[in-house]
Structure 1
């Protein structure tokens, strides 16, 4: 062999080995149909207005396990009987889902939040919040799932793969209580490691050697183990009905305990309309809209897998093709076609060249080498075709090329879309081939259920590109820290919504590994291992949501999303993200610094006591506070503060604050002063109460002005204050007095004859004036008379 060939082979081996721990492998049993552990499981959509009647009818045909809104999980022998019921809108078999596969807590700054202390919180670390997981299992013996006091963080484990102790309302699985977990007698294990890793990212207490804490290290855990291993235990597959049962179980448990809950779903499928209209998506949306839970899901790892195509259909025939790799027995293809194209027929051409016509209807078919079924629904003016195939071993030894001809009766300006997914155990995946009339695209690849309307979809970026294993060897994946992961699924959804909502660290994330899994060459220690994927990004966000719920347990989905979006980071990799979000980054990189401090400076009165009330629910005694108070509050949200002082213990003293109520934004600084007021009573010389009032401490009052004392005995005689006397004290000169405590005052009144004097002077003046006027008139008259007489004498 030539040297060049040796190098090429070496590179291929290294890349394969490095990627092995992170590959997402698809299921090796039917993508829909019966679970080997149960009978036939069906997802039934019922009429919303007739839920109770529909449930009663369904219970008569089969066993109802979960009912979430209009979506019901039913175990029954006969699908036709279910479809014949009057309140049933649709019935389909349960679909399969697959996993969506540092100290990243430093990257998102959650450690800062965990350490933060303030007036109203002692560490924002998820206290009093449940994080629910539906995954491959959890190693409950791992130290990271215990609090420092030795108490297990895990409240319940419901293991679908072990029988013997089903929860109330269910007929399968084994439910472990916290006590059983604490004793170490719970029979549940995690043989895959995915679930243990995911749960640790969100909620690890960091008690194992190495101390990798999760985002919300004080949060509680409810874990549902479901699905089963595939591909020699290298991956895992989940059943849709069991996922619904698990979500229902977690929500019910959280309600019983009266605790807020966020549920993490690091799983998904590409088969569906990517429009939020699948049964699972509608059930999750219902729970969120009802305020039962906040739900976070991995966006998916399909962006770079060549598993999505899009194009425009002209009238006539358009042919698409794809490759199914060896070691594949099941695959599915989903088509979303505008109804304007008026497609009534497809033609399938498998590798052997046989042509099979597929009409526009729901039905099951077969050929010599495979069986298939067709599901069909219309939503948002689009026909969604879902074709599921069970194939034999005939093509296991090589890639097989499949073709599908789409016959459109009309041309449409809208795009058609197609997605493919298989259960292959090969190290290459199913993939579309280039062709005329369509392109292979990484857009519209956000998986289901992350594409639901009210589920927070999480993409992944690189937060670490190398690590050191337990042997001291450095291992690198050759990525640039900060860039989006190439596999991280892109939006938007097919009905035009921006997804993902946010991106979080997804490569390479070091977190807990099950202790029962032998140490591998890429493990950091017997306690920790690295993994990649949006599966790892999603629990980062679930952990941050737990921090938010700790601060505001009743917060709505819309408010949570608003906080995540407005606190998300931009950098040179994201660029400036538009206000409406990005189909790659969502609204940016996750930032766990979801809050800020409001600073209050309080000048307290030495004798005052009372309470400070935050947002009408958090109450803390004023006696326990210093003069400077830091209040932690969620970013972009106002904090309402009310000061309530105790004024019941003394009759003549009361306290007040300025201001008494205030609304503050994060980062604000406010000054509050608490003062005393004293009761002041004013009496006349006969000890009759003239006035009483409250006066602030050290204020000066003018008694004469307060009393308007000029009451008259009569018009001519008025009163005035001649002095003030405190009871049992000496005379106070003047009319003003400083109030330093409760005060009783007697006024000394003097008779004031000013009005009489003024009246006398006025009257005298008037009399004199009148007399003078009289004299002037008299003088004028005499003078005029003498003049007339003189004239007569001449």
Structure 2
């Protein structure tokens, strides 16, 4: 990368300014020459990944064609104690030969922040168990070295705040949503005997990244509705790299909880973000645990097959009233190519997407106040498969029909995904949706630990738990963890019952922290990385005699960290 293109102190405003947009890059050279303006700069995530910041005017309606689908940052949203018993947590604490509580291990969270004043995040002497907070949303000049944005608060800063009359004058970072606080509490909260509460790894130290909101120009490009929590892929990548840097500085192992997800992408474990996670998954002492999402029974996924003797398939999409806009992605299977005709609820044919002619620019359709932007890539560069992306703005309500056809003598297959539930109204869904292949991205990445959600009280899979496998048959999710009616800390200082994929992921991340304590801190398996952790956790999972594993819903079974450690010794 030319040195002159690198981020400087004077240019760091471009990271947060909506006058500039963000474009991902691998290897740094690929994007050079693609911008009309020379007013851009580059912020490195690490030696292999970076973000370009050109003027927002560069993010035009045809940017998918111009930059490539994978390099426009996707939008991620939230995935909204007997559980310790069923996951083997109580046994690894009580067994005299183990007594694992997360001591010496870091737990990292990339989310909405943390209520650092809550007593469950303190030691017995009232000092904080939070080692660092990097708040990406606060601009002060006190940013993480080389990242040029946000504000970093150390454990000393937090302890100083805790003894101040007004803590938030010293450390103004807040969790206004409560999602991040709940996950940190589930995974690493201290014991509160009066409330019968304990986090999974109550002696672990905590590192928090509070994500800044996505830029409006990125939200507009992907038709994300206003007033919903939305985060950019590149900011999540910066957050993960920050946690890795802190772990390296403190020379500690770290388990990272990703309780956010997206439905944008091929669902094959490909893409810049997934590659980034796969790279980290090979590093000893680093584990990334990812939510499988809550899209299993939302009818936001459609799977179609077209028999050559029939020649077409009809997809019916109900669009609810007051839907401001959304993105819909059709992903095919090479070498087949599909064509699509789009019919509005009034019966009118509004668009034809050719399966013959190479589309070099974005097709723009206007019909009765609805705008549709259509990009058709016969061979998306990362997967080699066809991608047709529809971006609807102000769609009118009713049932839209998509007549999908193709040519050739092979069975023609394809998937279509709508955004996650947080980005849609409740009345937008496929009439004949398919619950499989609904894992939220990046749970498809092979070197992550992908978590499904189940109810530990009645041993049933959570109704909305995202299901595998990946589009190309990869065996995800890995295991299921408790995530229904889990006790979590609230912003009011008490506790509440919480349910969702994020909760099961936080529970599993705490369990992985105990495994890292056993392996890295105590020297039983010092080369533990996510590849080996995945094998140990899968090997120790509990399996029902009535389920055939691996299962699209359950993965390889339910997590049991005590059993995983004991079986490691048996296999050694």
**1:41–1:94: 8 Å Cα contact kept in structure 2?**
no
SS at match of 1:320: strand
Q: Describe the SS at the equivalent of 1:189.
A: coil
Match of 1:329 in 2: 324
> Is 1:160 the counterpart of 2:133 in the alignment?
no
Residue in structure 2 matched with residue 199 of structure 1 by the alignment = 184
Structure 2 residue aligned with 1:568: 541
* Counterpart for residue 510 of structure 2: 543
**What is the CA–CA distance in structure 1 between the aligned matches of 2:557 and 2:70, rounded to whole Å?**
39
For residues 202 and 339 of structure 1, do their structure 2 counterparts lie closer, same or farther at Cα, with a shift above 3 Å needed? same
**1:103–1:141: structure 2 CA closer, same or farther, 3 Å change rule?**
farther
Q: Secondary structure at the match of 1:212?
A: coil
Task: Report the counterpart of residue 584 of structure 1 in structure 2.
Answer: 553
**Which residue number in structure 2 is paired with residue 13 of structure 1?**
none
Supply the distance in 2 between the matched residues of 1:199 and 1:159 (Cα, whole angstroms). Answer: 15
Of 100, 107, 110, the match for 2:86: 107
Quote the residue 1:372 is aligned against. Answer: 373
C-alpha distance in structure 1 between counterparts of 2:374 and 2:184, whole Å: 36
User: CA separation in 1, counterparts of 2:518 and 2:561?
Assistant: 13
Q: Contact between 2:81 and 2:196, CA under 8 Å: does it hold in 1?
A: no
Task: Choose 1 or 2 for highest CA Rg.
Answer: 1
Q: Superposed, which structure 2 residues align to 1:526-541 within 5 Å?
A: 526-541=493-508
| 333, 338, 341: which one aligns with 2:333 | 338
199 and 329 in structure 1: CA distance in 2 versus 1, 3 angstrom threshold: same
Cα deviation, residue 262, structure 1: 1.5
CA distance in 1, matches of 2:113, 2:242: 16
1:500 aligns with 2:477: yes
**Offset at residue 357 of structure 1 (A):** 3.1
Q: Deviations over 1:380-420 (max 9, x none)?
A: 5532333333x23x74xxx4322323331224325211111
**SS of structure 1 residue aligned to 2:341:** strand
User: How far apart, in 2, do the equivalents of 1:442 and 1:64 lie?
Assistant: 40
Q: Does 1:248 align with 2:233?
A: no
Contact 2:88 2:563 in 1 (8 A): no
* Distance (Å, rounded) in 1 between the aligned partners of 2:70 and 2:533: 34
Partner of 1:146: 122
Within 5 Å, which residues of 2 pair with 1:117-516?
Answer: 117-118=96-97, 123-164=99-140, 165-184=142-161, 185-207=170-192, 209-228=194-213, 236-291=229-284, 293-314=286-307, 316-343=311-338, 345-351=339-345, 353=348, 355-359=350-354, 360-361=358-359, 363-366=361-364, 367=366, 368-372=369-373, 374=375, 376=377, 377-378=380-381, 382-389=385-392, 391-392=393-394, 395=396, 399-421=397-419, 428-434=426-432, 440-464=433-457, 481-515=458-492
Q: 1:40 and 1:111, CA in 2 relative to 1: closer, same or farther beyond 3 A?
A: farther
Give how far 1:584 is off.
1.5
Post-superposition offset of 1:284? 0.9
TM-score (norm 2): 0.82
Comparing both structures, which one devotes a greater share of its residues to strand? 1
- Paired residue for 1:470? none
State the Cα deviation string for residues 457-500 of structure 1 (Å, max 9, x = none). Answer: 10011124xxxxxxxxxxxxxxxx11111111111111111111
The alignment partner of 1:217 has SS state of coil
Distance 1:275 1:429 in 2: 28
SS at match of 1:507: coil
CA 1:56–1:382: 2 relative to 1, 3 Å: closer
Does structure 2 retain, via aligned residues, the 8 Å contact 1:502–1:589? yes
Distance apart, 1:586 and its partner CA: 1.0
- Tell me how far apart the structure 1 counterparts of residues 460 and 421 of structure 2 sit (CA, whole Å): 29
Q: Distance in 1 between matches of 2:231 and 2:536?
A: 32
Alpha carbons 1:136, 1:190 under 8 Å: kept: yes
Question: 1: CA distance between counterparts of 2:226 and 2:193?
Answer: 29
The separation in 2 between residues aligned to 1:292 and 1:160, in whole angstroms, is 25
What is the distance in 2 between the residues matched to 1:444 and 1:290? 28
**CA spacing shift, 1:201–1:231, aligned 2, 3 Å:** farther
1:108-163 Cα deviation digits (max 9, x unpaired): 23122223333xx5x21111111111111211111111122322111111122222
What are the residue-to-residue correspondences of 1:629-644 with 2, within 5 Å? 634-638=565-569
Q: Per-residue CA shift, 1:224-244, capped at 9, x if unaligned?
A: 1115499897x6222212111
Counterpart Cα distance in 2 of 1:542 and 1:487 = 20
> 1:301–1:487: 8 Å Cα contact kept in structure 2?
yes
Aligned 8 A contact 2:332 2:387 in 1: yes
Say if 1:340 and 1:412, in contact at 8 Å, map to a contact too: no
Rounded Cα–Cα distance in structure 2 between residues aligned with 1:405 and 1:56: 39
User: Residue 172 of structure 1: CA displacement?
Assistant: 2.4
- Cα deviation per residue 1:299-329 (whole Å; 9 max; x = unaligned)? 1111111111112124544332212223322
1:260-284 Cα offsets, whole Å, 9 max, x none, are 1111111111221110112211111
Cα distance, 1:55 vs structure 2 = 9.4
